[in-house]
Amino acid sequence: MSTSAPAPLSSAEAPPPSRSHLARKGLPILLATLLSRPLGFVREAVQAALFGASRLTDAFVVAYNVPEMIQTLLFSGVLSNFFVPVITRYREQKDELSTVFSLAINGALVFALLVAGLCFVGAPALITLAAPGLSGADHDLAVFLFRFMLPMLVLHCLLAVLKGVLNSLDHYAMPEYAGVFFNLLVIASALTLSSSYGITSLAIGVVLGSVVQVLVQLPVLVRSGVRYRFTLALAHPALREMGGLVMGAVIATAVVPINAFVARALASTLPAGSISALAYAFRVFLLPVSLFAVPVYTVLLTDLSAAHQQSKSSVFKAQATAGLSLLFAVALPATAVLLALAVPVTRLLYERGQFSTTDVVLTSQALAAYVVGTLGYGTSQVMVRLFNATKDTRTPAWVGVASIAFHTGGCLLLMQVWGHWGIALTTSLVSYVNTAVLYLIFRRRHGPLDERVLARRFVIHLLLATGLAACLSVLGHPLAEAPGSLMTLPHLSYFAAIMVVGAGLYVACGVIFKVDEIQALRRTIVRWLTGSRGCKPGPQAG
């Protein structure tokens, strides 16, 4: 993004986009996530039941997260930061889109194989760097598992290209549905092979699941009219444009995995199980992020890119305001639920088999610290998309570099006071700092978003979420203190009941105080109950 004045408005701008527009486009991602994320919890629960939170699982978590970090750093995250904004201009030209897709696939495959080869050779050093606290047999096991799962790195690189093309065509569901197959294969592998192969059974499932994730994208791509062809058109303008953006995208994308890398490395110096507790808690934290934040900023990137391509700056800002408003409406109540019910949720998801009471305490502490940052993570990603959509990848990159130092210093400080969950809390705080800094830069260069509207909606949803958290905290206390397993009919019934009470209270307060999103939800429910043909829809909130 240049420092010049904002682009002039076009002579005929489209009506400002609404939150309901974003919600409708993001619905396929939400539905796919509702299937894949619970399976992710089942996968984690199976892992916890079979292997607990031990040095054994610490070795697997490190071995799994290192290639995952590499592929996020070099492939999937980078491509999402510049591939979609560039390729969006070709979505109405299927022949050109096929050419760009083919060039991207060819280059990604060659680069991924090269990186995988280097990782195989340097595996011992990488594992030592990732988890200096692992030594002896634990270190050797992590090295073995890391090398075994390296095909995941190559396959996820190809998946990133496929996802970028599909998203540019407004196909959002299948990249998320692919996670269902991944989780099913890991679960099946662990249950059927753990007695023979131990912790390696999880690695086998990871590789098989990664293969299937790629394969299920192909039919959708074919139906969309995109075809692979062998081409060496290296002078294509799309490649030149991507080349000018790639370095900033690499640096910006590196921030999250580098911070996670630092967190795991520091946690490896804490008592045994700290790495696993952070990993289990982060998995739960990803549920509200995946359900609510990811659909918003994934759809938003395509829409913002299209608005920028057409020089519709007022539509661009209206879309950004709508995206942030929608995040307030969904992220704050989700934060309230998990913050108030951190212990019961951890017990329900993980407390079985080798997962002990101590593991519950460690994981629930980390979960509470992570979920405080749910809104911060979502809004920071929206801020990054504002810059990426205008083909500025450098600004988020330099802000991200500064945040790495802040994150590292914060982790070193807070882990001395609160141990592993001090690390999680630092991660949450950093996301809010990133949001604030990126918005101030955007505001100075391009003018403000609708700050009055954003402030009003934030305060309203914060107050509602605070009331919800207080209610659930009181009602959930018996579950946190209940002896024995929570996986009994009385406990599950009580958990469901307090969730219904909390949701009813939240909606009732929203109706009483005429909160836009709650009113829209109420109208939608009424239409479903009465039949859409017999009931005129009310005006949608913008």
Q: What is the DSSP string of 37-98?
A: HHHHHHHHHHHHHHH-SSHHHHHHHHHHHHHHHHHIIIIIHHHHHHHHHHHGGGTT-HHHHH
Question: What does the pLDDT read at residue 4?
Answer: 40
Query: What is the pTM assigned to this prediction?
Result: 0.72
Domain ranges in the chain are 19-534
- In 3D space, the residue among 243, 252, 288 whose CA is nearest the CA of residue 438 turns out to be 252
Instruction: State the average pLDDT over residues 302-310.
Output: 77
End-to-end Cα separation, the chain, in angstroms: 27
CA dist 509 and 524 (Å) reads: 17
Single-letter code of the amino acid located at 240: R
What one-character-per-residue DSSP string does 144-184 give? Answer: HHHHHTTHHHHHHHHHHHHHHHHHHTT--HHHHHHHHHHHH
- Token pair in block for residue 2: 């240049």
Q: Is the pLDDT of residue 213 over 50?
A: yes
From residue 23, alpha-carbon distances to 9, 141, 298, 489, 521 in Å are 26, 44, 11, 35, 11
Task: Give tens-digit pLDDT for 419-475.
Answer: 898 999 999 999 999 999 999 999 999 889 999 999 999 999 999 999 999 999 999
Select the highest-mean-pLDDT range: 20-29, 121-130, 164-173, 311-320. 121-130
CA distances from 353 to 52, 56, 205, 492 (A): 7, 15, 21, 18
Closest CA to 37 of 382, 212, 293, 216: 293
Looking up tokens 């390696």 gives 200
DSSP classification of residue 7 = P
Q: Report pLDDT for 243.
A: 66
Mean pLDDT score of the chain: 82
Q: What is the structure's pLDDT at 306?
A: 76
Query: Residue 388 above 90 pLDDT?
Result: no
Least confident of 234-248, 380-394, 470-484: 234-248
Which pLDDT score is estimated for 499?
A: 93
DSSP string for 243-279: HHHHHHHHHHHHHHHHHHHHHHHHHTTSSTTHHHHHH
Helical axes 274-288 vs 357-371, angle rounded to 10°: 50
Q: Is the Cα torsion angle 384, 387, 392, 398 positive or negative in sign?
A: negative
Percent with pLDDT over 90 in the chain:
32
Residue 521 — pLDDT band, cuts 50, 70, 90? low
Label residue 3 by pLDDT band (50, 70, 90).
very low
How many of the other CB atoms lie within 10 Å of CB of 482? 15
At 12, the pLDDT band (50, 70, 90 cuts) reads very low
What confidence score (pLDDT) does residue 456 get?
92
Residues 40-56, mean pLDDT to the nearest whole number: 80
pLDDT in tens, 183-196: 999 999 999 998 88
Is residue 336 predicted with pLDDT exceeding 90?
yes
- Is 380 a residue whose pLDDT tops 50? yes
Instruction: Please say whether the beta carbons of 264 and 130 come within 8 A.
Output: yes
The tens digit of pLDDT for each residue in 228-238 reads 878 766 777 77
User: 55 or 389: which carries more pLDDT confidence?
Assistant: 389
Three-state secondary structure readout of 493-541: HHHHHHHHHHHHHHHHHHHHCCCHHHHHHHHHHHHHHHCHHHCCCCCCC
Q: What is the pLDDT of residue 271?
A: 84
Amino acid at 125: A
Q: Which tokens belong to 378?
A: 């979502």
Q: What angle do CA 136, 139, 140 make, to 5 degrees?
A: 85
Tokens for 453?
Answer: 């509207």
pLDDT, residue 22, reads 65
Under a CB-based contact definition with an 8 Å cutoff, are residues 280 and 44 in contact? yes
Which residues, other chains included, contact 256 with Cβ-Cβ below 8 Å and sequence gap of 6+?
72, 77
> What pLDDT, on the 0 to 100 scale, is given for residue 7?
41
State the DSSP string of 322-350: HHHHHHHHHHHHHHHHHHHTHHHHHHHHH
CA distances from 366 to 211, 433, 477 (A): 32, 20, 18
- What number is the average pLDDT over the span 387-415? 89
Rounded to whole angstroms, the Cα distance separating 72 from 432 reads: 21
What is the pLDDT, as a whole number, of residue 89? 73
pLDDT surpassing 70 at residue 534: no
What span, in angstroms and rounded, lies between the C-alpha atoms of 467 and 458? 14
- State percent of the chain over pLDDT 70: 86
